[in-house]
Amino acid sequence: MAQVLEFKLPDLGEGLTEAEIVRWLVQIGDVVAVDQPVVEVETAKAMVEVPCPYGGVITARFGEEGTELPVGAPLLTVAVGEPAAQPEGSGNVLVGYGTQAPAARRRRVRAATTATTAPAAHNGRARAPEPTAAPSARVAAPTPVPALAEGPVPVISPLVRKLARDNGVDLRELSGSGPDGLILRADVEDVVRAKAVRPATAGETPVRAPAVAPVATAPPAEAGVRIPLKGIRGAVADKLSRSRREIPDASCWVDADATELMRARAAMNAAQGPKISLLALLARICTAALARFPEPNSFVDTEAREIVRLGQVHLGFAAQTERGLVVPVVRDAHARDAESLTAEFARLTEAARAGTLTPGELTGGTFTLNNYGVFGVDGSTPIINHPEAAMLGVGRIVPKPWVHEGELAVRQLVQLSLTFDHRVCDGGTAGGFLRYVADCVEQPAVLLRTL
């Protein structure tokens, strides 16, 4: 006899309490295998696929796409075969946090019967419908799951699937340029660009921009686009607002001659071996400065009214992505050399752009390095990444006139700024920290004294 099991939205970790359904990967009546991803959700940390720990036939789904569900709310129900013959649930929570079935086994079949998804309740919350029972003949005993004729679509990144969906691109028509035919973001972008430059032919679906609901109460001249503050964008908004409310911040800045630092990097990269990034050298300078001035590597425990000074440096760095600003964290940055820092920055940046950062890679920072110079600006007064106590900002490095050794010369100049929590350190400490950073930028040999 078939048994209907309920699969609830699992605990996503890192204090996350809810997630938004971005896209269902299965339909009611589909046959799924253990650990097959069934829904794509977006949390305040990242976009992830949720695998189902049961194998069987989907009998009900709870929540439409765009609905936010709390942790523990029902996601779907699965009709499985005889309990003795059916493997136990895997216990996995999220892709990337445990084992998962190989891609070749991820097949699904649409059953002959039809059913509807659970309707959304008032106020945008999902209302749990009565589970739709599947005919017993369909699930009386586990049967082999036949594959679709065309096989699964070779896509891993949820960002790639979303990009294709938003632009009306059928992934089944693409040939991936990645390993084993994997469809990459560049493959989808090529199709989007090609559709944009040629007129749509008969029978071809034109590229469609995501629909935006108009504001019903506003006149046409005043109507605008409403962007929900949820997911990562909402989490960033909440954190920045809290930082502004709770942290009495101040900023100081200084111009520095980065000519010698750029020469040192060029000399390092002229030798054989991995190339060293400028961000890695700046991070190495940061950790050396924090060893001399540990106050900025702290946070304030408001309940205990204590300053907690930290011994390890977990360095956050700002990364701009299509889904907004994120701050990945390099663990134990103080114990890494420039080569290791370069590799870790590259890995985390790529994961941020692909939308595959784990919650653990986005939390736990103790100090932030913000290289806003990549946007072509000289200075900024950034908001501290709560609950940290300081952030070093680096502007663009550009040639400017500068007095060098008593002579006017064209040098590579950069503006450095430190935004700090005035409860944690005063202006003298902040100035000392920033001046040491500037000295290392101007004379990289200064850094050797701390190695």
- What region does 235 belong to: left with phi over 0, alpha with psi -120 to 50, or beta? alpha
Catalytic residue among 11, 301, 337, 426: 426
Report yes or no: 99 and 34 within 8 Å, Cβ to Cβ. Answer: no
User: What does DSSP say about strands 56-61 and 31-32: parallel, antiparallel, or unpaired?
Assistant: antiparallel
Alpha-carbon 231 to chain mean position: 10
Q: 306, exposed or middle or buried, with CB in 10 Å at 0-12, 13-18, 19+?
A: exposed
Beta bridge partners of 298: 309
String of DSSP letters for 178-239: SGGGPPPHHHHHHHHHHHHHSPPPTTPPPP-PPP----TTS-GGG--------HHHHHHHHH
Place of tokens 């990034």: 277
Cis bond leading into 144, ω under 30°? no
Catalytic residue among 11, 249, 422, 439: 422
- DSSP collapsed to 3 states, 49-116: EEECCCCEEEEEECCCCCCEEECCCEEEEEEECCCCCCCCCCCCCCCCCCCCCCHHHCCCCECCCCCC
SS3 state of residue 278: helix
35 in catalytic set: no
Q: Which of 84, 73, 76, 74 has the alpha carbon at shortest distance from 59?
A: 76
The rounded distance, in Å, linking the Cα atoms of 167 and 176 is 17
The rounded distance, in Å, linking the Cα atoms of 261 and 210 is 46
Q: 61, exposed or middle or buried, with CB in 10 Å at 0-12, 13-18, 19+?
A: buried
Which residues, including other chains, have CB under 8 Å from residue 256's CB and lie 6 or more apart?
413, 414, 415, 416, 437, 438, 441, 442
314 in catalytic set: no
Output the six-digit token pair for 96. Answer: 């990337």
Output the six-digit token pair for 8. Answer: 């609830």
Which residues, including other chains, have CB under 8 Å from residue 49's CB and lie 6 or more apart?
25, 37, 39, 40, 41, 94, 95, 158
The rounded distance, in Å, linking the Cα atoms of 81 and 91 is 19
Q: Which of 428, 421, 431, 440 has the alpha carbon at shortest distance from 296?
A: 421
Which residues, including other chains, have CB under 8 Å from residue 314's CB and lie 6 or more apart?
329, 330, 331, 332, 333, 364, 365, 366, 367
Active site residues: 422, 426
